[in-house]
Structure 1
């Protein structure tokens, strides 16, 4: 099971965006200000995506709509969630859809979450490290978190790429900026007391949590010396209540992540269809790094638990 993949609904591309083949089965696509290039057809064609999944024995994949959270009005969120449901339906249980929300409007976001869960059957919600200036540790999201606990579905907390001119070249936004935002998200949730208020909440962080596994001691030290960072528990205890995907791009980093948070908190995530994804041979690499037991845990058992699915 792959808990981290991105999608742009084909119907929305046809109505509001564009897609063009640039050679060798790679495409350039644009929708509502989101532009990606050099990606496979599976970015918008779920049939092609299923063929890619079959080639690597991926039984189930989480679909995270590729959107700009700043542009998600209530209308846009409904369009994305409705279209993705329609396009995924012919593929049965191969996909778990995560809903997008109008992040800048808490009331409308809660309303869309309720609709997406009750009417569309989404299996989770996509959140961000920056939602119109609101971090994931903010009390402004408590109503959302309460609903997620009630519904028993997780949130995937994706990094928002910072608008920093230093990150405009050499792919630095993805290489470094996103990893910093991952740490911001994890630290915000810990220091904001989210898991104290919502102990049953399931949160998934990509890229192994960015810098968080290495710098958890920094959070601990802040909690020791600053009143505004005081914690009820050790920050590592909170991290061991979270989930982290395996998209860290080296066996050494993956083994370190497992050492810090525990084998049962790590999930297979590929970042499909990003150009830097490690898709071909993913199972063999995971087994080589973590052994057969690690492949079973990270590739199947842990994702099933995080997503609330039965293991067959």
Structure 2
């Protein structure tokens, strides 16, 4: 594998899977005049940045990165319990494996699993674990109204931990009426979804049950770093916050992993103060408009050097 910073948060989807999984709550993706759309919604980047491995590698080189870790865009998460989901998951994982193997050790992957079917997911994880180039799975923070503290999501994490697979948690940008303007569905909605997932892990006993689980919250953990003190206070004062008999939220939070895509040095400093510094990795959100071209620049600016970022990501990916 090439040395240098590892971007653990980048997206890829072959054009033949633009139809999205059966039962998808969002319309299919498609290219138009070289630009990518979700239904009629423009995504504001070129189609080939999502689909063409040669373009991805060229952009990886231009960014000064050693390796990029590809996962599906969140629209492609199989969030519906629909017939044909397993076939979609298998097709994506097979295509991802081929792209990574053909990349000259520059690309790695995080695959999909059948979220509603833990038995199918276990088989899919066995196949992923056998590839060497797909190093884990990417999942949404919520499935319906539940998160990782209850099944089936909790069972998926058990299966990933058993197989020593990394888990990347990417928000779904779920629609809410109060977030319908100003791109708030992303600017506020995405961080809140991630924060809900982090709370379910820290307060729900998941990290105590699965001490070897490596699970990464993206976008710097959303709002969670700013709320750890509030969680700690509630845990100390209220019995209902302690029902899962967890360690303190401050201790639990240190068990999570994060990318450093906070868009702000002060926010990244807060994350570093609350998290385990050895659990911070660079992530670009390539090629989306909320991403950055050089994800290492912000952490470098607060004193996290490239060697540390690479070392942390290698541990997360069990390389």
Question: TM over 0.5: same fold?
Answer: yes
Alignment gaps of 5+ in structure 2: 1-5, 21-27
Quote the offset at 1:145 in angstroms: 2.4
Q: 1:101 to 1:250 in 2, by over 3 A?
A: same
The within-5 A match list for 1:153-192 is 153-192=165-204
Q: Could you tell me how far 1:151 is from its partner in structure 2? A: 2.0
Instruction: Describe the SS at the equivalent of 2:182.
Output: coil
**Matched position secondary structure for 2:108:** strand
Following superposition, the deviation at residue 274 of structure 1 comes to 1.0
Relative distance call for 1:6 and 1:171 in structure 2 (3 A) is same
Are 2:219 and 2:261, in contact at CA under 8 Å, matched by a contact in 1?
Answer: yes
Indicate how the Cα distance of structure 1 residues 45 and 98 shifts in structure 2: closer, same or farther if over 3 A, else same: same
Do residues 278 (structure 1) and 292 (structure 2) align?
Answer: yes
Matches of 2:306 and 2:145 in 1, distance apart?
Answer: 39
Please give the secondary structure, in 2, of the residue aligned with 1:91. coil
CA contact (8 A) 1:182 1:206 kept: yes
Return the match for 1:69 from 54, 59, 78: 78
SS at 2:137 equivalent = strand
Q: Partner of 1:2: helix, strand, or coil?
A: strand
Q: Corresponding residue for 1:308? A: 318
Which moved further from structure 2: 178-187 or 154-163? 154-163
- In structure 2, relative to structure 1, the CA distance for the partners of 1:112 and 1:255 (3 Å cut) is same
The Cα shift of 1:142 comes to 4.1
Further displaced range: 251-260 or 137-146: 137-146
Q: 1:229 to 1:78 in 2, by over 3 A?
A: same
Aligned to 2:92: 80
- Looking at structure 2, the residues matched to 90 and 200 of structure 1 have their Cα atoms a distance apart, in angstroms, of 31
CA RMSD of aligned residues (A): 2.4
Determine which of 8, 11, 31 is the counterpart of 1:6.
Answer: 11
Cα distance in 2 for residues equivalent to 1:240 and 1:28:
38
Secondary structure of 1:81 counterpart: helix
Residue in 2 that maps onto 1:28: 36
The offset of 1:284, in angstroms, is 4.1
C-alpha change, 1:55 and 1:115, in structure 2 (3 Å) is: same
User: How much has 1:17 moved relative to structure 2?
Assistant: 5.4
Cα deviation code 1:52-84 (max 9, x no counterpart)? 000121111111112143247212111211122
| Residues 235, 183 of structure 1: alpha-carbon distance in 2 compared, 3 angstrom cutoff | same
Of the three residues 63, 66, 72, the one matched with 1:56 is 63
Map 1:106-185 to 2 at 5 A. 106-118=118-130, 122-185=134-197
Distance 1:242 1:83, change over 3 A: same
* Rounded Cα–Cα distance in structure 2 between residues aligned with 1:90 and 1:297: 26
CA-CA distance at 1:267 after TM superposition: 0.8
What TM-score, normalized to structure 2? 0.85
1:223 shift after superposition: 2.0
Give the total of aligned pairs: 299
Residue deviations 1:4-26, cap 9 Å, x none? 1111123434998532235xxxx
Aligned counterparts of 2:18 and 2:227: Cα–Cα separation in 1: 40
Q: 2-side partners of 1:261 and 1:37: how far apart?
A: 32
What is the match of residue 3 of structure 2?
Answer: none
Supply the distance in 1 between the matched residues of 2:97 and 2:72 (Cα, whole angstroms): 11
Question: How big is each residue's C-alpha offset from its partner over 1:29-73, in whole Å with a ceiling of 9 and x where there is no partner?
Answer: 44xx69652113321111101000001211111111121432472
Residue 81 to residue 133, structure 1, CA distance change in 2 (3 Å): farther
Confirm or deny: 8 A CA contact 1:18 1:29 kept in the other structure.
yes
The whole-number CA distance in structure 2 between the counterparts of 1:181 and 1:298 is 28
**Conserved 8 A contact 1:101-1:113:** yes
